Amino acid sequence: MEVLKHPRMRQEKGRRRVDQHGFAAVELALILPILIIMTFVIIDFGRLIQARLVVTNVAREGGSLASRDTQSAGNLITMLQAGASPLNLAGDGRIYIWKIRAGTSVQNPDPFIDLSVSANAGALSVPSTIGTGRSNLGLSSQLYNHLEFDNSPGKKTSDISEVTVVEVFYRVTSVTPIGKFVPTLFTGGSEIIASKAVF
């Protein structure tokens, strides 16, 4: 036997369904912007982490190869730029290769730059942290001290003969509009990351 429902009960049930649809639309309107922002942050941070890993690996590989003199510095830079895929180091990056030799005598005890290559090493205009105008040539004081000529009795040499430094810089550009809303993430829509390897 079928129970007949009062028309008022049917109306209340219909209103509840309409109210539930209204609540769902309000919830979606509140949550959707947060989900979009989270998606943008995940995309840009993922690209930033990937770029940092690639730049670090390029610097390490470049330092290893440059310290063994397997290629000329120009060829090595071209090879490192090609190996940095998917990053475009030729357009949005810069590579510096330095060879710093140890002091050779009591008259010349200080380390000196023997090789400096950055020509055709990328279009990004960013200064190196290594150079003659910098304290300790830009090296840590501990490393610089190992390169200085030691004139103590029984020594008459430096601890190490040379070091090779490879610096890699890359500009990561935001692909989402998150940089406009959160300027601390990407200053001006891009962020320059760097890595230095010393061999």
b/e string for 89-120 if b means 16 or more Cβ within 10 A?
A: bbebbbbbbbbbbbbeeeeeeebeeeebbeee
Task: Report residue 143's pLDDT band, with 50, 70 and 90 as the boundaries.
Answer: very high
Percent of the chain with pLDDT over 70: 85
100: amino acid identity, one letter: I
Q: Summarize pLDDT for 3-27 with one digit per residue, the tens.
A: 555 555 555 555 556 566 678 888 8
Q: Report yes or no: 146 and 160 within 8 Å, Cβ to Cβ.
A: yes
Q: What is the pLDDT of residue 76?
A: 93
Task: Report residue 174's pLDDT band, with 50, 70 and 90 as the boundaries.
Answer: confident
Q: What is the pLDDT of residue 15?
A: 56
Taking CB atoms within 8 Å and a gap of at least 24, the contacts of 133-139 are 137/100, 137/111, 137/113, 138/165, 139/100, 139/111, 139/163, 139/165, 139/198
Task: Report residue 96's pLDDT band, with 50, 70 and 90 as the boundaries.
Answer: very high
Q: What is the pLDDT of residue 155?
A: 82
Region 116-128: mean pLDDT is: 89
Q: What is the pLDDT of residue 162?
A: 95
Checking if the pLDDT of 43 tops 60, the result is yes
Checking if the pLDDT of 184 tops 70, the result is no
Region 28-33: mean pLDDT is: 92
Q: Report yes or no: 169 and 128 within 8 Å, Cβ to Cβ.
A: no
Q: What is the pLDDT of residue 26?
A: 86
Q: Summarize pLDDT for 98-121 with one digit per residue, the tens.
A: 999 999 999 999 999 999 998 778
Q: What is the pLDDT of residue 153?
A: 84
Percent of the chain with pLDDT over 90: 62
